[in-house]
């Protein structure tokens, strides 16, 4: 996202090669072509911003249209973090949004709008303020840019709504998995185990009571013999 905003080619960033990861790779050191796997790894990888990139990111967030692009990146990252995003459901029903493409397009549009806003500049000053043709053209261009910013905001709102849908699917999946886990418990097996344990408990308690009573009788029967042996000694 930041690379697109700054006009850099993201496909040159941190290509995975046997010798290491490099900040920007142009292919001069290794002619090995990029693959779907390395592209996916590059997109999924978390990058530590350099000092200059942090400054660029701060400038991006300070720009109103730059914020739109940054928010799109945040939403895409949030969607990608949901485990349900890995389900084939989105592909089978053709409802999976290409997040990389969406963020790239939004960022490119935001970058062009920022450039157009800079070209538009401030309102006509001095003698130009009284020139109807100049004022008319300025208002026309300013209105067109404002309308374009509004359209980009609507696109961001749509992505936000899509994120809410994915989050809802995740919540339903979590509930389904939880219920499935609980339903995996066999009620009949529990009932049998409960009945068996209660029966065994009763038997053990009964054995304990009988043992106590028999022990008293046994020990009482030993008392005369003990006394006899004691007297002979």
Cα dihedral 33→37→42→45 (10° resolution): -150
Q: Tell me the pTM.
A: 0.66
Alpha helices in 45-186 (DSSP H): 51-62, 64-81, 89-92, 99-120, 132-183
| Contacts of residue 76, Cβ cutoff 8 Å, sequence gap at least 6 | 99, 100, 102, 103, 159
What distance in Å separates the CA atoms of residue 52 and residue 48, rounded to the nearest whole number?
A: 11
Q: What is the pLDDT of residue 134?
A: 92
Q: What is the pLDDT of residue 19?
A: 40
What distance in Å separates the CA atoms of residue 112 and residue 109, rounded to the nearest whole number?
A: 5
What distance in Å separates the CA atoms of residue 95 and residue 130, rounded to the nearest whole number?
A: 53
17 has which bridge partners?
20
The single residue listed with the structure tokens 């389900």 is: 87
What distance in Å separates the CA atoms of residue 48 and residue 67, rounded to the nearest whole number?
A: 20
Q: What is the pLDDT of residue 87?
A: 87
Chunk the chain into consecutive blocks of 10 residues (it has 233) and report each block's average pLDDT, rounded to whole numbers.
66 49 50 60 62 78 88 90 89 88 90 92 88 92 94 93 92 88 72 72 74 65 60 59
Q: Are 68 and 106 in contact (CB under 8 A)?
A: yes
Q: Which own/partner contact pairs does 207-213 have at CB distance under 8 Å and 24+ positions apart?
A: none
């Amino acid at each position: 996202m930041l690379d697109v905003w700054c006009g850099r080619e993201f496909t040159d960033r941190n290509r995975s090669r046997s010798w290491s990861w490099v900040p920007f790779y142009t292919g001069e050191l290794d002619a090995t072509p990029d693959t779907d796997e390395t592209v996916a790894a590059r997109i999924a990888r978390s990058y530590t911003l350099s000092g200059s990139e942090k400054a660029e990111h701060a400038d991006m967030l300070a720009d109103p249209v730059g914020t739109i692009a940054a928010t799109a990146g945040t939403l895409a990252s949030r969607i990608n973090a949901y485990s349900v995003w890995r389900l084939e459901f989105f592909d089978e029903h053709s409802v999976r949004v290409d997040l990389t493409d969406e963020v790239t397009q939004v960022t490119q549009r935001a970058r062009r709008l920022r450039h157009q806003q800079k070209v538009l500049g401030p309102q006509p000053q001095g003698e130009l303020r009284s020139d109807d043709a100049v004022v008319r053209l300025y208002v026309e261009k300013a209105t067109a840019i404002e309308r374009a910013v509004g359209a980009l905001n609507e696109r961001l709102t749509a992505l936000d709504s899509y994120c809410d849908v994915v989050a809802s699917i995740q919540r339903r999946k979590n509930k389904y998995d939880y219920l499935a886990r609980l339903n995996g418990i066999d009620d009949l097996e529990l009932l049998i185990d409960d009945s068996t344990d209660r029966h065994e408990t009763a038997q053990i308690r009964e054995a304990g009571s009988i043992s106590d009573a028999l022990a008293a009788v046994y020990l009482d029967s030993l008392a005369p013999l003990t006394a006899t042996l004691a007297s002979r000694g």
